[in-house]
Amino acid sequence: MYNSTLQNVSITTLGSNQTNMSCHKNDDFKYPLYSTFFSVVFVIGLLFNMVAVYIFACTLKVRNETTTYMMNLVVSDLLFVFTLPLRIYYFIRRDWPFGKELCQLSVSLFYTNMYGSILFLTCISIDRFLAIVHPFGSQNIRTKRNAKLACCAVWVLVLSGSLPSGFLLDTTSPRNANSPSIYCFENFSKKQWQSKLSKVVMFIETVGFLIPLILNVFCSISVLQTLRKPQTVSRGHLNKTKILRMIAVHLFTFCFCFIPYNVNLIFYAMVRSKVLKGCYAESVVRTIYPVALCIAVTNCCFDPVIYYFTSETIQNSIKRKSMKLHNGIHILERLQTDSAQSSPITTITAQNHSKDTVVTKDPSTRQHGLFTQI
């Protein structure tokens, strides 16, 4: 009886010690991973989105509902891309010298880009659904004015979730008492996770990921079902191949960029808020998190690809520019060819003219010398 009681006490004490004992963190691989990957994303994302800005601002003559969503998507992407050098510096130096406010702004802009991209892509998907499945009944809904109102609603919704995640939380603190280095992006405390951050994450995940995911899948399936109907095939203005390619690119980008990060973030929040306990669970989510985050930030590189495949207006604009460039190069080559062909005649003419000049000058020169001698 005594031994049994002692055994139970020992097991209880051991379990208590394991619960109270902090798990060993082994995610230092994230620092070189982040700094390298973010550098590549910064270059490609900046280049692609600046090209998109040029197309929207300078070459796109016709603007519709889809291009309205895309222009807001470009703004969201660029706001995040411009903060990447700060993140690259931090993950190389492992120190944040830029102040608390800039760290909070960088955190907020990351979530703004992530969930802004998700919601704007969802708006594009819904717009395509209305145009194909309900082409006549949606004419009063699919207007540029309503598209602008939808974009305003997206910004309000996204900022209401992203700003608290950055500005209402203390995102910088000393790493330890003996080090002057400052944290950023990675130091939310257990108390913050349990009291505030877990609730913010659940709100963001529900409104910013789960509902848009359901809407995107529903809209895509509905469009595919509509395209299979005989009366839809008879509508000559619909290009079935283009629409299928558009849906494939859209769903691939959405699923590839956003599902790994957001699914892992749910488990990460459960681990940090101690809903899901155990060192193994924490080790798994901490290992997956940096990889999923790197995949997620590639959305600012993939979005310009979506612009091309989604909007026929943009495709036509790019084709016109390409034709002008091709014609300009062709004209330049013809000028160079004509110049090369005419150059021997010019040389012979110049040589003959030079000889004539010499012949006419020699007598006058000799005559001038003779007069001088006299």
Position 319 confidence tier, pLDDT thresholds 50, 70, 90? low
3-state class of 136 per DSSP? Answer: coil
Residues of the chain above pLDDT 70, percent: 70
Position 258 confidence tier, pLDDT thresholds 50, 70, 90? very high
Tokens at 37, concatenated: 């990957």
Query: To 10 degrees, the CA torsion angle through 175, 176, 177, 181?
Result: -30
Note the pLDDT of residue 273: 79
Q: Which region holds residue 340: left if phi is over 0, alpha if psi is between -120 and 50, else beta?
A: alpha
Q: Which residue has the tokens 């394991």?
A: 18
Q: What is the mean pLDDT of residues 6-23?
A: 45
Query: With contact defined as beta carbons under 8 Å apart, do 165 and 108 qualify?
Result: yes
Exposed e or buried b per residue across 251-274, where buried means at least 16 C-beta atoms within 10 angstroms of its C-beta: bebbeebbebbbebbbbbbbbbbe
pLDDT at residue 269 greater than cutoff 90? no
24 or 268, which is more confident:
268
* Segment 83-131, tens digit of pLDDT: 999 999 999 998 888 888 898 899 899 999 999 999 999 999 999 999 8
pTM to 2 decimal places? 0.76
3-state class of 182 per DSSP? Answer: strand
pLDDT at residue 323 greater than cutoff 70? no
